[in-house]
């Protein structure tokens, strides 16, 4: 699926340091079809992102008009671990939902492991945990434990049943995320649970360019309700890449973070919590095209300070990803000879942004007259620019109701 992003140039003088290709955008994109994802790492980045967008769409369409967050890569990893326990047929079904059929990669697991290692390098500010927990009553096959451990460095774990399990799982998640994802499970797993997938991610966004003003409470408009007061970060002459998409009725800004991470903000033109149009257009290819079309600009930037924590069980969403048959009969024959089913995919995402950055915006005599003011519902995503992998995606309808 290829759709052209129509970019309006706002105020010719102010925007474009990148005017060299004037007029070439529309024609160029259509004529020469360039293969966007050419290396195993970028193909894997695209596959995990497309799985993430599909999962996010499933969440967002069930929970309309609410805040929704997802850190999809850790979900890809835990489900990939699980796929190793299935029959050939079941493995194929699950890996298809994970979009791996697009890869043709015989080294699939190594490619995913390398991608995971590269996005977890300390400078990027991402930590994550992904592990399978299994009911002991299933009489588990030890070969599966060894297989997953050899490949992903995390050994699946047998559960004892009861409240001890909650402490065990929560302690492990906390340890893997440097103490940043706490109270992963609020309630014990159901007594009858069989196979449980656990995934958690913490992300601390670090800007390249710092914000000098942070914290003043300002109005954030809500769809159909009175505005709320939330802490905002503010900076003049802030370098972003930017464009307006008239088809999606939104303005998009890409804000650079440290170590080749960036945040894309999709800000609808109107105050609305309905972002269906944007949600439906999200694919790895769309975002890659977008990143090549946005133009550098200096703007007066206002962003809410984000501190959020979001937990959910993703299991009910798998049916929307074409996995209804698989859920009925996941054929986890390499895990246990007894029939075993997936009982939960608990997921927790925690994210913080802070005003700090390692550069000051360039001094300028007059502030830019372009403004980008994120003071109404928006959608954002955090992307690793090297691999293209989607690390985090969220719809912020009311930042006030986010807690950490």
Ligand X SMILES: *[C@@H]1O[C@H](CO)[C@@H](O)[C@H](O)[C@H]1NC(C)=O
Nearer residue to ligand X within complex by CB, 176 or 279: 279
> Does residue 271 touch ligand X according to CB under 6 A?
no
Rounded to a whole number of angstroms, the minimum distance from the CB of residue 273 to ligand X is: 9
- Residue 40 φ/ψ, nearest 5 degrees: -55, -40
Query: Segment near ligand X (CB under 6 A), from 7-15, 138-146, 198-206, 274-282?
Result: 274-282
Query: Segment near ligand X (CB under 6 A), from 126-134, 203-211, 271-279, 332-340?
Result: 271-279
Site for ligand X (CB under 6 A): which residue of 274, 291, 293, 300? 274
Per the DSSP assignment, residues forming a β-bridge with 69 are 394
- Interacting residues with ligand X between 292 and 351 (CB under 6 A): none
Residue by residue, DSSP assigns 32-55 as S---S--SHHHHHHHHHHHHHHHH
Nearer residue to ligand X within complex by CB, 73 or 222: 222
Asked whether the beta carbons of 256 and 385 are under 8 A apart, the reply is: no
Rounded to a whole number of angstroms, the minimum distance from the CB of residue 126 to ligand X is: 32
- Interacting residues with ligand X between 27 and 66 (CB under 6 A): 64
Burial class (CB in 10 A: 0-12, 13-18, 19+), 298: buried
Nearer residue to ligand X within complex by CB, 60 or 130: 60
Joined together, the tokens standing for residue 135 give 């009911």
Closest-by-Cβ residue to ligand X is 274
Query: Segment near ligand X (CB under 6 A), from 142-150, 224-232, 269-277, 289-297?
Result: 269-277
Judged by CB under 6 A, the number of residues near ligand X is 4
What is the Cα–Cα distance from 51 to 321, expressed in whole angstroms? 9
Residue by residue, DSSP assigns 131-195 as EEEEEGGG-B-HHHHHHHHHHHS---EEE-SSHHHHHHHHHHHHHHTTT-S----SSPPPTT--E
> Does residue 276 touch ligand X according to CB under 6 A?
yes
Nearer residue to ligand X within complex by CB, 258 or 274: 274
What is the Cα–Cα distance from 124 to 342, expressed in whole angstroms? 32
Nearer residue to ligand X within complex by CB, 99 or 395: 395
Number of Cβ atoms within 10 Å of the Cβ of 26:
12
> Does residue 277 touch ligand X according to CB under 6 A?
yes
Nearer residue to ligand X within complex by CB, 249 or 291: 249
Nearer residue to ligand X within complex by CB, 64 or 66: 64
- Which residue ranges make up the site for ligand X (CB under 6 A)? 64, 274, 276-277
């Amino acid at each position: 699926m290829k759709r052209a992003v129509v970019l309006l140039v706002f105020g010719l003088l102010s925007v474009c340091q990148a005017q060299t290709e004037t007029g070439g955008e529309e024609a160029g994109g259509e004529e020469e079809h360039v293969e966007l994802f050419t290396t195993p790492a970028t193909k894997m980045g695209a596959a995990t992102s497309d799985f993430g967008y599909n999962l996010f769409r499933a969440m967002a369409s069930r929970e309309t008009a609410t805040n929704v967050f997802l850190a999809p890569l850790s979900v890809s990893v835990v489900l990939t671990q699980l796929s190793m326990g299935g029959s050939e047929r079941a493995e194929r079904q699950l890996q298809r939902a994970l979009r791996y059929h697009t890869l043709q990669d015989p080294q699939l697991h190594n490619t995913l492991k390398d991608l995971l290692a590269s996005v977890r390098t300390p400078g990027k500010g991402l930590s994550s945990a992904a592990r399978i927990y299994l009911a002991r009553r299933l009489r588990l096959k030890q070969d599966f434990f060894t297989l997953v451990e050899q490949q992903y460095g995390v050994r699946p774990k047998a559960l004892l049943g009861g409240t001890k399990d909650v402490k065990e799982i929560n302690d492990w998640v906390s340890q893997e995320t440097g103490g940043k994802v706490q109270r992963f499970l609020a309630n014990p797993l159901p007594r009858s649970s069989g196979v449980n997938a656990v995934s958690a991610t913490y992300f601390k966004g670090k800007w390249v360019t710092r914000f000098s003003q942070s914290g003043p409470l300002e109005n954030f408009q809500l769809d159909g309700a009175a505005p709320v007061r939330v802490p905002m970060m503010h900076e003049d002459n802030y370098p972003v890449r930017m464009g307006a998409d008239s088809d999606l009725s939104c303005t998009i800004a890409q804000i650079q973070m440290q170590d080749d991470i960036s945040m894309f903000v999709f800000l609808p033109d109107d105050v609305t919590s309905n972002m269906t149009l944007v949600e439906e257009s999200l694919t790895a290819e769309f975002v890659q095209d977008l990143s090549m079309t946005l133009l550098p600009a200096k703007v007066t930037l206002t962003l809410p300070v984000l501190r959020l924590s979001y937990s959910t069980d993703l299991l009910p969403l798998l049916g929307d990803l074409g996995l209804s048959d698989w859920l009925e009969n996941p054929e986890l024959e390499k895990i246990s000879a007894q029939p075993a089913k997936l009982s939960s995919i608990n997921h927790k995402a925690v994210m913080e942004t802070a005003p700090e950055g390692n550069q000051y915006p360039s001094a300028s005599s007059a502030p830019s007259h372009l403004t980008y003011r994120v003071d109404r519902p928006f959608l954002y995503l955090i992307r690793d620019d090297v691999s293209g992998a989607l690390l985090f995606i969220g719809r912020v309808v009311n930042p006030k109701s986010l807690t950490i």
